[in-house]
Structure 1
Amino acid sequence: MAEEDAAWHSTALYIIYLTSGWFAFAVWSISFYPQVILNYRRKSVAGLSFDYVVFNFTKHSSYLIYNASLYFSPVVQRQYHEKYGKSELIPVAPSDVAFSTHAVLLISVILFQVLTYEGSSQKISKLAITITTLAWGSALVLVLIAWPKGDWLWLVSGFNIIQVVMTGIKYIPQALLNYQRKSTIGWSIVNIILDLSGGTANIFQMGIQSIDQHSLENFTGNVGKLGLSFESIFFDIVFVIQHYLLYREREEPKDIEYEEIEEADPETPAHSSR
């Protein structure tokens, strides 16, 4: 990306930008492993919302499509520069593409665990199925609209919006499940601490680029990355409060609690995942 390198005004800021980006990539990527390891050690997915996993897969798949298209496609990059200005940097870093790819792979592993470990008798809620179907249905509509016009930037921006929306709702089933069980057992807090660090580093990285460019287009031209960070930070704080303040009991909840949750309201995303 020599063209991108030359567009930076400060080499020092560019190095800080890359460093913070790869730091976010590292902690975010590592954040998937504690849940995988926890599931493996327990040979159980009890305490992990199935709706959350499905939402997360949809979110990261959409984000991968956006990042890969904007980073690798000359056509999409040209349309981006035509809209935001030729002097503006493409707001997707190599670390963004690497993170998205890695995320989709690791969530696929968790999906496999959901299908094979204890708790596989649990069901994804009808609401989650509906939301996921609407998300991918919307993506198909976007493709059908953009294809005749060749408006590929508009198309990938649509995938970006989908991932922002999914980020906003994906944590809700897990937060509700923790509340209903009055426990965070089965839900990795290490994952949350790492995710919080990554979100903070991500916003810092975007700020560094804006300072170098003397422009806020880095934020307005990539609302997905900004939305991803702020939404993740908000829910990470919620989970930290649940784990360390509200539900400090570290014993596994009894199975009857799951049954009571399911009987209470089988349509709610969080408990339908139990």
Structure 2
Amino acid sequence: MASWNSIPLEITYETFGWIAFFSWSISFYPQVILNFRRKSVVGLNFDFVVLNLTKHSSYLIYNASLYFSSAIQHQYFEKYGHGEMIPVAANDVAFSIHAVLLTAITLFQIVIYDRGNQKVSKISIATVCVVWLVAAVCFFIALPSHSWLWLISIFNSIQVFMTVIKYIPQVIMNFMRKSTDGFSIGNILLDFLGGVTNYAQMAVQSIDQNSWVNFYGNIGKTLLSLVSIFFDVVFMCQHYILYPEKKVVPSKLNKEGTEPLIRFSEERAAPENVLVHGGVYKE
């Protein structure tokens, strides 16, 4: 495998990688904490969580296989050249493991907390079933010839596909409700930072190696960053511009500095014999 040509670029690569790891990893916690505090998952789209679990599971299979398997690494070098670097870093594997765990916890919260009338759609269930069926068929196709690089590329393609479609149900739900209440914006802000630094990490590696194989050799990681950034921008526009959180305006106080027991609209006069503040009847 190729070595780094510049120590500063190698340090920058590692720095961007771990910033992406921590940003993406921490991004799961605001939603988990919000669900815990509310004891409710109303406002969080269940399809998003179900599709997300499949997405991160397939991404974990790809990252762990390419990072740890010498046989798959050999097949990668045979295809892209022995002078190239493996496009998966330790932070990618660590993130995938953490993502699967936290997404599973979020799914468990959906089971135990108040769900209102929300439920997982049949379309999402069918999509997940078809995806894993395809993965199983591809496994048996790859088994005789040991085409493991091809097989994990299928899992990489699955995670790209799931990344593209997983955000759509939540975007539509926010649009229909005209609100982002129940969906943590902290998750989106951290996800955006992770996407930017993840893409920057790949760019640094390409600059050092003077080669762009890193981008199309791991097209899944490239598209993961770009798609995540796109939808994060959409969510931020929904939260801050289209459907901003409504602020509670404090009610006006009376002369004594306390809120009246009974308030009347400006259009209507107070009826006779009504008890007002202070316990005095007004004729």
TM-score normalised by length of structure 1: 0.89
Letter in 2 for 1:90: I
Among candidates 199, 205, 208, match of residue 209 of structure 1: 205
After superposition, the C-alpha distances for 1:194-252 in whole angstroms (9 at most, x for unaligned) are 0000000011000000001110100010000001000000000000000001111348x
Residue 240 (1) aligns with residue 236 (2): yes
The residue type equivalent to 2:35 in the other structure is: N
What stretches of structure 1 of length at least 5 have no aligned partner? 252-274
1:19 maps onto 2:15 in alignment = yes
Question: Which of 214, 219, 238 does residue 223 from structure 1 map onto?
Answer: 219
Note if 1:145 corresponds to 2:141: yes
Looking at structure 2, the residues matched to 107 and 138 of structure 1 have their Cα atoms a distance apart, in angstroms, of 22
Between the aligned partners of 2:223 and 2:246, the Cα distance in structure 1 is: 33
The 8 Å contact of residues 183 and 250 in structure 1, kept in 2 or not, is answered as: no
2:42/2:118 contact within 8 Å kept: no
Q: 1:264 maps to which residue?
A: none
1:136 partnered with 2:136: no
- Give the CA RMSD over aligned residues: 1.3
Map residues 1-274 of structure 1 onto 2, 5 A cutoff: 7-119=3-115, 122-250=118-246
Q: Distance in 2 between matches of 1:47 and 1:175?
A: 11
Shift in Å, 1:120: 6.5
Tell me the equivalent position of 1:263: none
Q: Which protein is richer in helix relative to its size?
A: 1
Q: How does the TM-score come out when normalised to structure 2?
A: 0.86
Aligned-partner residue type, residue 203 of structure 1: Y
1:242 alignment partner AA: Q
**Corresponding residue pairs, total:** 248
Percent identity, aligned pairs only, is: 60
Larger RCO (CA under 8 A, 6+ residues apart) = 1
**CA deviation string 1:164-186 (max 9, x = no partner):** 00000000000000011111000
* CA distance in structure 2 between the partners assigned to 1:22 and 1:248 by the alignment: 32
Helix, strand or coil for the counterpart of 1:171?
A: helix
Cα 1:119–1:250 shift into 2, 3 Å: farther
- Choose 1 or 2 for highest CA Rg: 2
CA distance in 2, matches of 1:119, 1:205: 39
SS in 1 for 2:143: helix
Deviation at 1:141, TM superposition (A): 1.2
User: Hey, what's the Cα distance between the residues in 1 that align with 2:149 and 2:245?
Assistant: 49
